[in-house]
Copies of this chain bind each other. A is one copy, B any other.
Amino acid sequence: MTDTPSNLQIQSDRLWGAILETAEIGGTPKGGVRRLTLSEEDRIVRDWFRKACEDAGCTVTVDALGNMFALRPGRDPSKAAIGLGSHLDTQPTGGKFDGILGTLAALEVLRTLNDAGIETDAPLCVANWTNEEGSRYAPAMMGSAAYAGDFTVENILARRDGEGITVGEALKTIGYDGPDAVGTQKFGAFVELHIEQGPLLEAEAKTIGVVEHGQGIIWYDGRITGFESHAGTTPMPLRRDALATFSEIVLAVERIARELGPNAVGTVGEVTIANPSRNVIPGEVSFTCEFRSSDSDTLKALGETFAAAVKDIGSHRPRVEIDLEIVWRKEPTHFDPKIISAVREATEALGYSNRPMVSGAGHDACNLNQIMPAAMIFVPCKDGVSHNELEDATQADCAAGANVLLHTVLALAGVAKAA
C-alpha cells in the first residue's frame, strides 16, 4: 500500500492524439475547428466523448441543458465529486484547444488513473458544459451559468439562435436534451485547465498560469433605428443614418476602454444592417458589444461611461433612436484560495515555471466558483491567439497542464491507499 507516486504523469501522446482526432470534427481547411454548440458537429464530438468516458469506466449522465457528466466512483461515497473539465464547442472559426484541451485532459486524467490502478477517496467527475462560446446562443457559458443559478433552465431553453431555433429545439435535434434536472450532479470543487488565450505566459516563457481572478463582463445587445432612404436623393441634413450612428458607438467603445485601461477592454463584435443595399441609407442596425475588467470599480465605470456616451450620441443625432440592453453582467471572479493553492502546489511539485494570472476570458469555472470552490490552470498559446483558426499550443505545454490537473484533483479528491 503506497501513496500515489508524485512522479505519476499523464500520457502526452494519448492526450495529443485525442486533441487531433476530435479536431477533425468540424475541422476547417486552415486547421481550426467550426463546431457551434448543439450543431451536428457538436453531436458527433459529444458522442465521441461519451463513448470515451464509458470506455474509461465512467457513468455518463446528461442534464436538461445538455451538460454532460462522466462520473468515476471514489472509495468514499459520502464525499462530493471533484469536478474537472471544460467545453467541446468552438467559435464559428475557432481553434482546436479552446475548451477542448481542458475536457480531453480531464479524460486523460481518468485514463492515467485507470492505467495506474489508482482509486480516489472522493469520486471524480469530468464535465462538458454546453455552449461555453456564446456564438450561436447568448449568453456564453450558459450551461454552467444555469447550473450556478444565474439563469433559470426555462429562460435558457427559450433562447433563440439567428435562425430562430430555440436551445430546447436544438438540444432535441441532436438528442442531448438529457433527463436529469440541472444541478443533479453535485461537486465538492471544480478545476478547469485551459489555454491562456492571451500573450503573457509565452512572453515570459512560463509553462503554467495559476489563475487567481477572472474578468467581470458586461454584454449588450443594441439596435439603432433610423430610416431607410435613397442614397442618391436624400440630402445629408435630412438623413436618419443608423450606420453612421453605430460607427460613433464603435469608436466610443474603443475610446472608453482605452481611457479606463489598462485593466479594461471593450469590443463590438457583431453588426447587421437590416435590408442592406449599396445605394440605400441604412435604416436599422443591430449589434452586440461588451466590456471587461477584473476590477469591479473599473467595470462599473466602463458601464456608466458607455451609457453616458450613448446618451450623448443620441442627443446630437436626435432623428435616430438607440436601444441598448444589458443581456449579461457578471462581476469579476475571485477564485477559491484553497483550490488556487492546490494548483500552485501541484505545479511546483512537478517543477514547472509558473506565475499568478488573471483570466481575460470568461470560463465555466468562473460561473461555478459562485457556488463551489474552483480555480483554473492556464498553459501558453502561440502569440496569445485564440478564437481564431490559427490558435496553437505545444504538445509539451498541453501535457504539463494535464499533469498539473492530475495532481491537483488527486490532492483535492484524496488518494486511497492502493492494495
| A→B interface (CB under 8 Å) | 91-93, 133-135, 138, 140, 196-199, 215, 217, 219, 227-238, 241, 243-244, 246-248, 250-251, 254, 257-258, 261-262, 264-271, 273, 275-283, 288, 290, 292, 359-362, 384-388
In the complex, which of the residues B232, B236, B251 contacts A248, with contact meaning CB atoms closer than 8 Å? B251
Name the residue in A198, A279, A386 with the highest tally of chain B Cβ atoms < 10 Å from its Cβ: A279
**Which B residues lie within 8 Å of A135 (CB)?**
277-279
CA distance A198 to B235 in the complex (A): 9
Separation in Å of the A248 CB from the closest CB of chain B?
A: 7
- Which chain B residues lie closer than 8 Å to A250 at the CB level? 243-244, 246-247
Residue of B nearest to A250 (CB): B247
Q: Which 3 A-B pairs have the closest CB atoms?
A: A233-B360, A198-B233, A247-B247
Residues of B within 8 A of A279 (CB): 133-135, 140, 267, 269, 290, 361-362, 387
Interface SS of chain A: loop
| Contact indicator A277/B271 (Cβ below 8 Å) | no
Taking a contact as CB atoms under 8 Å apart, the answer to whether B92 and A265 are in contact is: no
Residues of chain B within 8 A of A359, CB atoms compared:
232-233
Shortest beta-carbon distance, A19 to chain B, in Å? 19
Q: How far is the CB of A202 from chain B (nearest CB, A)?
A: 12
Sample 15 A-B pairs with CB under 8 A, ordered by A number: A91-B277, A133-B277, A133-B279, A135-B279, A198-B233, A219-B278, A229-B384, A229-B385, A230-B361, A231-B265, A231-B290, A243-B271, A247-B247, A269-B279, A278-B290
| Beta-carbon contact of A232 and B388 below 8 Å | no
What is the CA–CA distance of A138 and B134 in the complex, to the nearest angstrom? 35
In the bound complex, CA of A199 to CA of B230 (Å): 11
B384 adjacent to A234 (CB under 8 Å): yes
A237 neighbours in B (Cβ, 8 Å): 258
- In whole Å, how far is A64's beta carbon from the nearest beta carbon of chain B? 24
Most chain B CB within 10 A, of A271, A282, A359, is at A271
Nearest chain B CB to A109 CB, angstrom units: 25
**Residues in B whose Cβ lies below 8 Å from that of A133:** 277, 279
Q: Are B267 and A388 in contact (CB under 8 A)?
A: no
- Residues of B within 8 Å of A387, CB to CB, are 228-231, 277, 279-280
A196 to chain B, nearest CB (A): 7
Determine the chain B residues whose CB is within 8 A of the CB of A360 once the complex forms.
230, 232-234
CB-contact partner of A386 in B92, B229, B282, B384, under 8 A: B229
**A192 to B: closest C-beta gap in Å:** 15
A230-B386, A244-B254 as given contacts; A271 in contact with B276, CB under 8 Å: yes
